[in-house]
Amino acid sequence: MPTDAPPEPAQQPGGAGEAQPAARTAPPEQVARTRMGQPATFLEAVSEALWEEMERDERVFLLGEDIGAYGGAFKLTKGFLERFGPLRVVDTPIAEGGFTGAAAGAAHMGLRPVVEMQFMDFISPAYDVLTNYVATSLYRGAGPLPLVVRGPVGGGARAGPFHSQNVEMAFFHTPGLKIVYPSTPRDAKGLLKSAIRDDNPVIFEEHKGLYRAPRFRELLPAEDYAIPLGKARVALEGDDLTIVTYGLMVHRCLEAADALARDGIRAEVIDLRTLLPMDEDAVVASVRKTSKLLIVHEDTRTGGIAGEIAIRMNERAFEWLDGPILRVAAIDSPVPFAAPLEDYFLPSVGDVTAAGRYLHKY
């Protein structure tokens, strides 16, 4: 959607006389897909959003481990250092709590930092900063704190328990934070732009299984656009069963919906996109139509967001339900490293299909 003109830029990180960015260089390959009229992967969409927002607003800068000279663990910020310089692409020590705190200070001074967690599993050292300080800033009268913490999440890459977790429910209980978890390149770019422009702190989760998968490429709008936070989308329309999900699981649920359609079951798939704040109205509207609700997420079962969605629908849509609210989630275990164990741990298309068939017959 159209956006307002960029605000007046504030002073960049650092002081007068410090090193400035090199002369404008050609955009690196991963941020040039859309301007060349080519479809972009999820990773390229995220990179494009960062690049365009940094060009749009000089207050936006990046912090993270190996994001500068190395270009990031996934090469998502390759070429950013050469274009924007070391004051706006800041290589940090391995100290997530420290550089997240530094980003919070920069946000207080009028900048708009974007923190990369090399893997979101390692956001835990910054938990205190984010929950006790960042999330409460506005409530304590310290003013808005525009800060985005983004990075890869999710399993399926045989990366073991330190590089495969989903972290949304560690922060879902914290008022003052927003949590975004997109499922498509178009949404990733548009939602990240909105997150960077938001005056509230946002945790932005990117499933690494979506990063380079060719089948998820999309041709993105050539014009500048942003997708509002807090709005779900209907990924597939149906009237027999509602499936609520987000992230990579959107695509597994769409596959399950295809299997259910062969049985004559028309499932509606709701992609939440933003988990906090959650678009409850979209879920209620679908449940009123289908009378059946299945909730799917890759996060572990106990304490997962499915429980919260279930109780909200019990409060708001109970009279329309014709069966129990079911959930499909990962089992309560650290993410296994061994391939057969990880496959058993993660929700599968078959799991979703079986739950959908059971609920439809109830």
Could you tell me the CATH number of the domain that includes residue 88?
A: 3.40.50.970
| Per-residue pLDDT at 21 | 52
| Per-residue pLDDT at 24 | 65
Higher pLDDT, 3 or 320: 320
- Locate 270 and state its tokens: 């709701």
Same domain for 174 and 95, yes or no, is yes
Same domain for 212 and 239, yes or no, is no
Indicate whether 7 belongs to any domain. Answer: no
- Locate 276 and state its tokens: 């906090």
| C-alpha to C-alpha distance for 362 and 142, rounded to whole angstroms | 52
| Per-residue pLDDT at 23 | 52
Question: What order do you get walking across the sheet with 274-276 strand by strand?
Answer: 89-91, 60-64, 112-116, 148-153, 202-207, 178-180, 274-276
- Report the pLDDT averaged over residues 104-129: 97
Indicate whether 251 belongs to any domain. Answer: yes
Question: Does residue 226 carry a pLDDT above 80?
Answer: yes
Same domain for 258 and 315, yes or no, is yes
Domain that holds residue 110: 29-216
Indicate whether 351 belongs to any domain. Answer: yes
Same domain for 287 and 171, yes or no, is no
Indicate whether 80 belongs to any domain. Answer: yes
Same domain for 92 and 204, yes or no, is yes
Indicate whether 23 belongs to any domain. Answer: no
Among residues 189, 216, 243, the one where a domain terminates is 216
Question: Does residue 8 carry a pLDDT above 50?
Answer: no
Q: In 3-state terms, what secondary structure has residue 96?
A: helix
Same domain for 132 and 273, yes or no, is no
Among residues 186, 216, 246, the one where a domain terminates is 216
| Per-residue pLDDT at 26 | 78
DSSP-H helix ranges across 212-324: 249-262, 280-290, 305-317
Higher pLDDT, 166 or 16: 166
> What residues have CB less than 8 Å from 127, skipping those under 6 apart?
170
Indicate whether 294 belongs to any domain. Answer: yes
pTM for the model: 0.92
Look up residue 322 and give its amino acid.
D
Indicate whether 13 belongs to any domain. Answer: no
Same domain for 296 and 357, yes or no, is yes
Look up residue 237 and give its amino acid.
E
Same domain for 239 and 293, yes or no, is yes
Same domain for 186 and 277, yes or no, is no
Same domain for 211 and 241, yes or no, is no
Question: Does residue 22 carry a pLDDT above 70?
Answer: no
- State the total domains in the chain: 2
pLDDT in tens, 84-99: 999 999 999 999 999 9
| Per-residue pLDDT at 248 | 98
pLDDT in tens, 41-63: 999 999 999 999 999 999 999 99
Measured in residues, the chain has a length of 362
Same domain for 63 and 151, yes or no, is yes
Among residues 166, 185, 216, the one where a domain terminates is 216
Question: Does residue 18 carry a pLDDT above 90?
Answer: no
pLDDT in tens, 270-321: 999 999 999 999 999 999 999 999 999 999 999 999 999 999 999 999 999 9
Same domain for 204 and 256, yes or no, is no
| Per-residue pLDDT at 4 | 42
CB 206 within 8 A of CB 166: no
Question: Does residue 10 carry a pLDDT above 80?
Answer: no
Widest Cα–Cα separation across the chain: 71
Question: Does residue 15 carry a pLDDT above 90?
Answer: no
CATH number of the domain residue 327 falls in: 3.40.50.920
- Phi/psi for 120 (5° steps) reads -65, -15
Q: Which residues are catalytic?
A: 163
Q: In 3-state terms, what secondary structure has residue 61?
A: strand
Indicate whether 9 belongs to any domain. Answer: no
| C-alpha to C-alpha distance for 95 and 116, rounded to whole angstroms | 12
